[in-house]
Structure 1
Amino acid sequence: MDISAATALVTGANRGFGRAIASELLARGATVWAAARDRGQIDLPGARPLQLDITDPASVAAAAAEAGDVTLLINNAGSATGADLLTGDVEQIRLDMETHYFGTLSTVRAFAPVIEGNGGGMILNVLSVLSWLALPSLGAYSGAKTAQWGLTNSLRVRLAPARIRVAGLHVGFMDTDMVRAVTAAKHAPADVARYAVDQLAADAYEIVADDLSRDVRSKLSGGVAALYPQLP
């Protein structure tokens, strides 16, 4: 994809990785719609602010009507409630699924016809290494990201005839507000954004941005024993 000729829409662009990848796209000459639930939170020079709550169908429809020139959709908006699958608030678990799975699907359903009408393009779903590997402390998030990975695979095949390439980005923890309490090593969002945009420019379907994600991917064929050696 020629990034300099793209018109991108980035969800959750007011902070964290969304802001970083929107900034990277702008630096490479793309036109960028920077979306957030409150468009007043968008402070990225050169970006077009857009109101978008991906869990609200009316908001999604309004955004698609306003941003009719999109050729690259970055599904970045997310939630991480930290809910435990057995003891956590079911509504919090549902929120993670509504955001990562149904919110992503709703946005794709609205913007796929827009992208197709503009001659085709790309969609990037921001996934996680936790779409491949579950952590007990992040059960709701891991489950939602695994569902989003399955969604990405299905949409990739479904949208190919419309000249829309669907890519997934897998990465470990990034240094964002969402994982402020996590003490593990974290990647700089700007570094991941740079790599992700490089891969979009190369028309990659699967973007694996760090060694942890590459290691986990290599163990998928080994089954449960390879992924969870701590189990008896």
Structure 2
Amino acid sequence: MSLQNKVVLVTGANRGIGAAVVREFLKADVAKVYAAARSVASLPDFGDRRVVPLQLDVTSDASVAAAAGTATDLDILVNNAGTMAFGDWIATSQEAVEADMNVNYYGTLRVVRAFLPHLTGRGSGTIANVVSVVGLAPVPLLAGYSASKAALQSLTQGLRGTLAKSGVTVVGIYPGPIDTDLARDMPMEKASPEHAAANIVRGLAEGQTSIFPDLTAQQIGQLWSQTGPQLEAAMQAGG
């Protein structure tokens, strides 16, 4: 898929992978990038007139509806906004688990439902969900986050089947540990957001439907690829 002259919307564009993905899309000669964040004041200065700041709180029906009313011309929707609480399945508070689910799963679903008519109406487009490798298998100390990303993985797979004949492509993006604010307390080697973003945008341009943008993710992806895609296809056929 050529990215030239495409219109892109990236949620959670104020930092980390989101901000880096915006910059990579600009390098790919897109026509416009809606840089969406809960507060537009938190967005960096991208130094490019093609970037349109957009207020979008994925947990708010009104905010998402207003954003969808503005960005009616998008070709590619990148659902990157997320949050992450640390803690295991017993110690993590109910509130923290619900917060992860409200942003990472329900928030993404809310955004997809609001923007999807713009894509299906034209019979083309791409929805790319930043899932995470923990959406494929949980990490004990990321209990709520793992559960929310597993739900997002299920949404991604389900959308792919639902939209199979619509002309809209659904992409899952599965980063491993990335050096972002969310992961600052994780004591492990991490890839840079810029490295991940470059591989994400390259994967979209190449038409990949499952993107593993860093070394750890690629290693996990090799294991998942042995059964995951075949199981998904079988389940979709059965539905």
Structure 1-normalised TM-score? 0.91
> Which residue of 196, 200, 221 maps to 1:196?
200
Aligned-partner Cα distance in 2 for 1:176–1:73: 21
Tell me if 1:27 matches 2:45: no
Aligned pairs for 1:85-104 (under 5 A) are 85-104=89-108
| CA contact 1:54–1:106 (8 Å) conserved in 2 | yes
Q: 1:98 deviation in Å?
A: 1.0
Amino acid in structure 2 at the alignment position of 1:38: S
User: 1:2 corresponds to which residue?
Assistant: 2
RMSD over equivalenced CA pairs, Å: 1.6
> Which residue of 97, 109, 112 maps to 1:108?
112
| CA contact 2:124–2:167 (8 Å) conserved in 1 | yes
Q: 1:155 deviation in Å?
A: 0.6
> Deviation string for 1:42-85 (max 9, x for gaps)?
22222100000001111110000011111100000000011432
Q: Which runs of 4+ in 1 moved over 3 A?
A: 217-223
User: 2:39 corresponds to which residue?
Assistant: 38
Of 78-87 and 11-20, the range deviating more from structure 2: 78-87
Of 114-123 and 190-199, the range deviating more from structure 2: 114-123
Amino acid in structure 2 at the alignment position of 1:37: R
| CA contact 1:119–1:163 (8 Å) conserved in 2 | yes
Q: 1:161 deviation in Å?
A: 1.9
SS at match of 2:153: helix
Q: 1:117 deviation in Å?
A: 2.6
Of all paired residues, the percent bearing the same amino acid is 39
| CA contact 1:122–1:166 (8 Å) conserved in 2 | yes
| CA contact 1:9–1:70 (8 Å) conserved in 2 | yes
Q: 1:119 deviation in Å?
A: 4.2
Of 176-185 and 209-218, the range deviating more from structure 2: 209-218
**Larger helix fraction of residues:** 1
Of 117-126 and 165-174, the range deviating more from structure 2: 117-126
SS at match of 1:203: coil
SS at match of 1:107: helix
SS at match of 1:136: coil
**Structure 2: tracts of 5 or more residues without a match:** 229-239
Aligned pairs for 1:128-139 (under 5 A) are 128-139=132-143
Aligned-partner Cα distance in 2 for 1:198–1:217: 17
Tell me if 1:50 matches 2:51: no
| CA contact 1:116–1:164 (8 Å) conserved in 2 | yes
Structure 2-normalised TM-score? 0.88
